Amino acid sequence: MATPLDGIDVVLADLDGVVYAGPHAIPHAVESLNRAAQRVRVGYVTNNASRTDESVAEHLRDLGLNVVTNDVVTSPQAAMALLRDLAPAGSTILVIGGEGLTSEVSKAGFVVTDSALDKPAAVIQGFSPDLGWAHLAEASFALNAREPGASEGIPWIATNMDWTIPVARGVAPGNGTLVSAVHLAVGRLPVVAGKPELPIFEEAKRRFATDNMLFIGDRLDTDIKGADAAGMKSALVLTGIDHAKQALAAPPGSRPTYLLDDLRQLHEPYPETVTHPDGSVSVGEAHVVKRGMELVVVREGTHPLDAVRAACTLIWDSGLAIYGFTVPERLHSYGM
């Protein structure tokens, strides 16, 4: 049996919930990714716009990963491709966010301002833990302004729309909540650079000069959905936001190629999925059947996750919504 790494040129790993939670490494992540780097290129992709690529790389090195700055792809970097298309070269840009965003805007040749009074050519917004009402208000002032005769306001780019971020103490509000506050004030939505939108995946393809990639993430709505839209294989690792319950209910376009307990399983043979003529599904030694609308685990198998993998395939291939099924609690609660 092949491993998830077989035939792949580049592994792309999300950070929050995959490599670390807050300042600390997730168990088995560092050694597993360093081992992967011995046979394929490994890159790191983050929607978090609060830090520079170098500071992210330094954090990863402190955790023990073998990383250079160019291995890190950030949503502010992806946003620059959008900004170059939407704003004149060298123009003034209102930046709502931290150093990770302001540094990229400056490197791209734009003038950074934090005041709508400077009549910026565009607004770009990213997460920073220090953002407050005054910063969001400046974005609203700039976006609501109209030049005489203009039908709409200046362009607005968001680095990402993540509603939550995992941190050391738990789950906290993400950039999407802050963007939503501005959206309610201005009555329109931004163009988005980060996952699940394509710009950050296109930036990764340019950076690593291949589209034969495996994307590892912990969220179906950003990581897996974006990878699928970009034509990449994907692995959902159950160490962050989403777990078996969410995987079982994953809609089309957000279903991972692989389901992993942790990153050690990158190096393990991935069991074959077999759909039988009666519609039941086996993964490894696990076997799951549908009786009416009830899922029944006939055999657990030697690895507990295999029954979840089998149940996912059975539900996904049925064309029916998850709420129509009766699912054993041990599958719903797996990994939580």
pLDDT digits (tens, 9 = 90+) for 100-157: 999 999 999 999 999 999 999 999 999 999 999 999 999 999 999 876 655 678 999 9
Residues belonging to the active site:
14, 16
Q: Is the pLDDT reported for residue 336 higher than 90?
A: no
Q: For the chain, which domains are there?
A: 1-47+197-267 (3.40.50.1000), 76-192 (3.40.50.1000), 271-336 (no CATH)
pLDDT grade, residue 170 (50/70/90)? confident
**pLDDT (tens digit per residue) in 226-270:** 999 999 999 999 999 899 999 999 999 999 999 999 999 999 999
**Average pLDDT score over the chain:** 94
Q: Which tokens go with 186?
A: 């201005």
Which residue shows structure tokens 């319950």? 245
Quick one: pLDDT at residue 71?
Answer: 98
Between residues 61 and 321, the one the model is more confident about? 61
Cα gap 219→160, rounded to integer Å: 14
Quick one: pLDDT at residue 115?
Answer: 97
Quick one: pLDDT at residue 149?
Answer: 57
Q: Is the pLDDT reported for residue 192 higher than 60?
A: yes
Residue type (1 letter), 162: D
SS3 content of the chain, % helix, strand, coil (to 5): 35, 25, 40
pLDDT grade, residue 163 (50/70/90)? confident
3-state class (DSSP) for residue 165? strand
Q: 78: burial class by Cβ within 10 Å (0-12, 13-18, 19+)?
A: buried
Residue 174 to residues 19, 77, 143, 167, 177, Cα–Cα distance (Å): 18, 19, 21, 11, 6
Which residue shows structure tokens 């670390």? 20
Question: Phi/psi of residue 63, each to 5°?
Answer: -75, -15
Q: Give percent above pLDDT 90 in the chain.
A: 85
